[in-house]
Amino acid sequence: MTRIENRPLRALLGVLTSLKLTIVCMAALMVLVVACTLAQVHLGTWGAVNVYMRSWLVWWDVPGTVLSVPVFPGGALAGAVLAVNLIAAQLKRLELSWKKAGLWIVHAGLILLVIGEFVTGMFQQDMQLAFEEGHTANYVEYPRENELAVIDVTDPAWDEVYGIPETLLARADEVQVPGTPITLKVKRFLKNADLAMRTPNDAPAIATAGVGTSIRVAELPPVTTDDRPNATAAFVEPVAGGRSYGTWLVSALLAAPQQFVYEGRTYQLAMRSRRVYLPYSLTLKDFTHDVYPGTEIPKNFSSLVHLNNPARGESRDVLIYMNQPLRYDGKAFYQASFGKGDTLSILQVVSNPGWLLPYISCVLVTVGLLVHFAITMRRSMRRRAAAAEAHS
């Protein structure tokens, strides 16, 4: 009776520890890598990675319908199954002895490599810091996400900022701005839109206040590539103290914020890239763009920044250049791009708590292979010595 009840469990363990499952998972990952590489032409790097590598399933949109059907396991699913397979196979097959120490270390390194990719996919955040020479910034921005900033600029010494994520604007009809008496009624949200001056033939404007009354808004398909961001726009109606302050157009294409006054306090509205404020500041002192003599071929880009962190008593200069980032407070600042006649520096800011795991994994795999090679060679030399002694 017991043997019959254990059959399904034994069958499951047999599948989980099989070499065939290992090969299937690795083949699926290879297919995903190729598909992800090809898809970057249309989806961009981050879009393709999210669709193929950091999803549980790859979905296919049925043409002419709103249906999406799963057609292939995603990288997250293939990686998770591979990790379970490696762990189960190691526990079942590998002998717990010094002779197998190298293989234990190699398997541990491979498992850690898969775990590292999960940690990166779940927790890595990619941001940017763009500032001109002489400018000081205490924030970084998400280049592919926007927010509606409600800024209290009443006090000339400092601003009080409330950021409303675009995802909340997209799904909510009303948003209470924290810490203020203001409620924003979302009349319309557009993930991507183009702006133009209104003409007499245009339909009546939705906006009743601000510059939006003279602007025509055309909705565009969302951007899926990396070369440009979405120009997010929305029509919002601020309401405070039971009074409406009209319907305003806010857009990432509008350079200057718009403002209204409620009981002596001035509030600005601005759609912009989502910001994360830092407990320290960076000042760009100098940006350098070197080229090879007699050519326009780039040789080196570097940013000399001044780091100021009053809480830690730090005030020092740091040179950031190609392949030499600034790693500070859990973030890495890489030199990424430049502009405005070599006076604007753009730093890629990456926060990844698992950035060390791939390095540790590679070290473990290398050490494991060396240990296994040494043990095998030692055993082979002993056999040869024994054989030579037997024939002597």
Q: For 64-83, how does the pLDDT look when each residue is reduced to its tens digit (9 = 90+)?
A: 777 889 999 998 899 889 88
Domain-located, residue 90: yes
311 and 339 share one domain:
yes
160 and 265 share one domain:
yes
Say if residues 240 and 174 touch (Cβ distance below 8 Å): no
Domain-located, residue 247: yes
Distances (CA, A) of 78 to 15, 43, 52: 15, 21, 11
Residue 210 has which token pair? 């601000």
32 and 148 share one domain:
no
- Express each pLDDT in 29-64 by its tens digit: 999 999 999 988 878 777 888 889 888 999 988 887
pLDDT at 334: 94
pTM of the model: 0.71
155 and 268 share one domain:
yes
- Express each pLDDT in 230-253 by its tens digit: 899 999 999 998 999 999 999 999
343 and 376 share one domain:
no
User: Does residue 299 have a pLDDT over 50?
Assistant: yes
Distances (CA, A) of 34 to 38, 44, 57: 6, 14, 16
Say if residues 330 and 111 touch (Cβ distance below 8 Å): no
Give the end of a domain, one of 276, 293, 318.
Answer: 276
DSSP SS3 for 8: helix
- Express each pLDDT in 99-153 by its tens digit: 888 988 998 898 888 888 788 877 888 899 999 999 999 999 998 889 999 999 9
DSSP SS3 for 172: coil
In this structure, the number of other CB atoms found within 10 A of the CB of residue 152 comes to: 19
Q: What percentage of the chain carries pLDDT values higher than 90?
A: 57
Tokens 């601000």 belong to which residue?
Answer: 210
What is the total count of domains within the chain?
A: 3
259 and 372 share one domain:
no
User: CA angle, 105 as apex, 111 and 120 as ends, to 5°?
Assistant: 30
DSSP SS3 for 217: strand
340 and 364 share one domain:
no
131 and 118 share one domain:
no
Q: What is the arithmetic mean of pLDDT over 3-25? A: 80
pLDDT at 220: 93
User: What residue numbers bound the domain in which 205 lies?
Assistant: 143-276
Which of 267, 266, 263, 231 lies closest to 250, judged by CA? 231
296 and 260 share one domain:
no
Q: What is the arithmetic mean of pLDDT over 263-279? A: 93
Domain-located, residue 388: no
Q: What is the arithmetic mean of pLDDT over 167-181? A: 90
Domain-located, residue 198: yes
Which range among 59-63, 216-220, 221-225 shows the weakest confidence by mean pLDDT? 221-225
pLDDT at 370: 96
Domain-located, residue 1: no
354 φψ region: left (φ > 0), alpha (ψ -120 to 50), beta (else): alpha
pLDDT at 2: 45
Distance CA 384, CA 376 (A): 12
Domain-located, residue 110: yes
41 and 62 share one domain:
yes
Domain-located, residue 390: no
84 and 18 share one domain:
yes
Q: Please provide the average confidence, as pLDDT, over all residues in the chain.
A: 89
User: Does residue 5 have a pLDDT over 80?
Assistant: no
Domain-located, residue 2: no
User: Does residue 169 have a pLDDT over 60?
Assistant: yes
329 and 291 share one domain:
yes
pLDDT at 245: 95
Give the end of a domain, one of 249, 276, 303.
Answer: 276
Give the end of a domain, one of 276, 300, 326.
Answer: 276
